[in-house]
Chain A
Amino acid sequence: MSILVIAEHDHKSIKPITLNVVAAALAIDADVHVLVAGTDCANAAEEAAKINDVTKVLKADAPELSHRLAENLAPVVVDIASGYSHILAPATTFGKNVSPRVAALLDTQQISDISAVHDADTFDRPIYAGNAIATVKSSDALKIITVRGTAFDPVGAEGGSASIEDVASKGDAGLSSFKGQELSESDRPELTAAKIVISGGRGVGSGENFALIEKLADKLGAAVGASRAAVDAGYVPNDYQVGQTGKVVAPDLYIAIGISGAIQHLAGMKGSKIIVAINKDEEAPIFNVADYGLVADLFDAVPELIEKL
């Protein structure tokens, strides 16, 4: 049987997380198909066809699929599900929104946010904000899974030459419609895909002071994150939040500045390869997970860092 990956894309191009999900699929079985459901999404479908080791791309192109509404997208997946042993989606707000809807329609108990594949039925998933790892074995004939992208190294975006096949949209369910959006404008890399992440916490002190974090990030070509305390204090928007209730990141380098290291924050970043902590409180729990801890006032250390890098 084949495996279906539900691609995350913006109609023009494939989001990088899709490459991590394909990697998880390849850890289960070799025949991986990718569904690109959108509006005028031929470009995204062509990009998907180039993903290394993908054998087929299914393209559902219809106006009602323009805003990834779960009510319209789930029936498209359900319609083609019978040909697959596993259906995988990224554990992003997109995948988390649509995948359980598909699972319920197919009377399947979804396996959320997997971080490892043992065999075709058995997977690891973090529970309790990553403070425990459960290995679970599914008895469902079809497995519906969301994948923690940072747990799987991405496959190559180039090298494949899959065929593209059209599949039908099931129409507009008429249950919901798109009204508007406010997206953060930034030239910096996406938080969950960045190689370097610089995060600020309550110690940064204000929204204005966050410019210091951003300046360091730009010097290193890094993404900017924040602790929940900094988000709650209104220094930065919510989508900067790294942690249990925000984003899970695992970059090569994570620099935590003015962050004490609450359990909720650690859950979102302790998979990073190298962790640096800069904090003036030497008792801060963040130092327990840091490879390189610098006990210093961030308003002295960060400008010095920017100058010397």
Chain B
Amino acid sequence: MKVLVPVKRAIDYNVKIRVKADNTGVETANVKMSINPFDEIAIEEATKLKEAGKVTEIVVVSIGPSQAQETIRNAMAIGADRGILVETDLPTDIGGVEPLAVAKTLKAIVDKEQPDLVIMGKQSIDDDSNQTGQMLSALLGWSQGTFASKVELGDGTVDVTREIDGGLETLTLQMPAIITTDLRLNEPRYASLPNIMKAKKKSLEITKPEDYGVDFSPRLSVVKVVEPAPRVGGGKVESVDELIDKLKNEAKVI
């Protein structure tokens, strides 16, 4: 069984982002970039299935700048067997490559690679759209198991436990299927040095958007990007009595 795992290079989750001075976007130059955390969970899940003998090949795909090769190598160091980069210089957070274009490109790759399962992050932590998996599923006419916290392979089916508002829900999906990962699905491993070295020798094919016939022109134009209005905090109270008094008589919220 073959699994495809799309991964995205995004600003590292520990970085405090800065809005560009001209309000056209978020500063990405000289900022630490990493694999999107939800995608790292996806590659870990695929790797665990491979280690359990249920998966024979993991193909990792990224759409982004030349530097996204590093992201693909990271995924290979965890467990992917080979990689495909769709290289573009358009921004991948906002005002550039959008989820629909990504889903169309991934569909073209799925048509060629014929995986049984696509496992991908539920959202990237830059544009926070949470769309690509569902869109890919729609374009392929496949089943979808979004926000997965547990994945159990059956015979031609896969049971996906989903994190929904109010609790958990389990669906049985007919394969082929799309699964999008939530945080509690697994804890990604740290890649070992030997595996990092091995990853450098794995096959990485570099392609262009034109190879897939997908129009990358954005449908959403960015009017402006601003920082949210700052919250004025820092007020202190000295005692529980003072707190209750303020909440009752000043804020009038209790």
Contacts and interface: CB of A to CB of B under 8 A. Distances in A.
Contacts of B128: 112-113, 126-129
B153 interface: no
Given A101-B144, A103-B131, A305 B243 contact: yes
A244 interface: yes
Contact of B134 (A70, A92, A137, A175): A70
Contact of B168 (A69, A182, A244): A182
Contacts of A288: 233-234
B225 interface: yes
Interface in B100-128: 100, 103, 125-128
Interface in A257-294: 263-264, 270, 273-276, 287-294
Contact of B247 (A98, A104, A109, A253): A253
Contacts of B126: 127-128
Contacts of B246: 292
B193 interface: no
B56 interface: no
A275 B246 CA distance: 12
A68 B235 CA distance: 45
B191 interface: no
Interface string B56-100: 000000000000000000000000000000000000011000111
A91 B231 CA distance: 24
B100 A107 contact: yes
A301 B137 CA distance: 50
Interface in B144-172: 144-147, 149, 159, 162-172
Given A96-B146, A139-B219, A175-B142, A183 B236 contact: no
Given A175-B143, A179-B159, A304-B240, A101 B11 contact: no
A288 B231 CA distance: 8
A201 interface: no
B254 interface: yes
A157 interface: no
Contact of A94 (B100, B164, B227): B164
Contacts of B241: 308
Nearest to A307: B240
B171 A137 contact: no
A294 B243 CA distance: 8
Contacts of A247: 165
Contact-size category for B: 35 or more
B143 A294 contact: no
B109 to A, nearest CB: 16
Contacts of B163: 93, 238-239
A196 to B, nearest CB: 7
B131 A100 contact: yes
Contact of A309 (B164, B169, B244): B244
A238 B165 contact: no
16 contacts: A100-B135, A112-B131, A129-B128, A131-B17, A132-B226, A132-B227, A179-B159, A184-B167, A196-B253, A196-B254, A275-B233, A290-B235, A292-B237, A292-B246, A292-B251, A294-B236
Interface of A: 67, 69-71, 74, 92-94, 96-105, 107-113, 122, 126-140, 174-184, 190, 192, 196, 220, 237-239, 244-245, 247, 252-253, 263-264, 270, 273-276, 287-296, 301, 304-305, 308-309
- The 10 A-B pairs with the shortest beta carbon distances in the complex, nearest first, are A104-B135, A100-B134, A183-B167, A109-B219, A104-B138, A175-B143, A100-B131, A135-B223, A289-B233, A253-B253
